[in-house]
Amino acid sequence: MSYSRILSGALLALGLLTGTALAIGVDEPMADPAMEAKAREISRGLRCLVCQNQSIEDSNAPLAADLRHIVRERLAAGDDEAAIQRYLVDRYGDWVLLRPPLEPATFALWFGPFALLALGAGIILWRRRRPGAEPEAQALTAEERARLDSLLKDEDPA
């Protein structure tokens, strides 16, 4: 097999791999710069459902691109930020918001980490303060004391 054949095969494989990367295009910006800025601002407050703790503005996932497209469509149709968020929450739930509302259904999201931290600190304090948690120090016997003294005298200070 000749080197030119190997080289052409490698170039073909490289072309196929880069071709798929180039097929994923950038979002087409809106004609009005103010509307585009508003679309980006709204997108920064929405969670990518694939990447989880990343906004759809920052995500490269295809679903995030679809959500950015929906935001732009709804904005062009005249919806305001609240209407767009309501539409997406109705479709995907509060999870789509990077800052979910403070309501009983989301208390676990807001207060769960602090409750777990307090529970862990409480368990640590309880285990340290309970009686018998630390064994009592016992005095050395005369034989142990003599052995310790002889070992300490034999130590070389260098």
Q: Phi and psi (nearest 5°) for 97?
A: -90, 135
Estimate to the nearest angstrom the gap between the alpha carbon of 115 and the chain centroid: 20
Alpha carbons 42 and 30: distance in angstroms, whole number: 14
With H, G, I as helix, E, B as strand and everything else as coil, classify residue 7. Answer: helix
| Cβ contacts of 96 within 8 Å, gap of 6 or more | 46, 47, 49, 67, 88, 89
Q: What is the pLDDT of residues 111-142, one digit of tens each?
A: 999 999 999 999 998 888 876 656 667 888 99
| Cβ contacts of 131 within 8 Å, gap of 6 or more | none
Q: What is the pTM of this model?
A: 0.54
Q: What is the pLDDT of residues 23-46, one digit of tens each?
A: 333 567 778 888 899 999 999 999
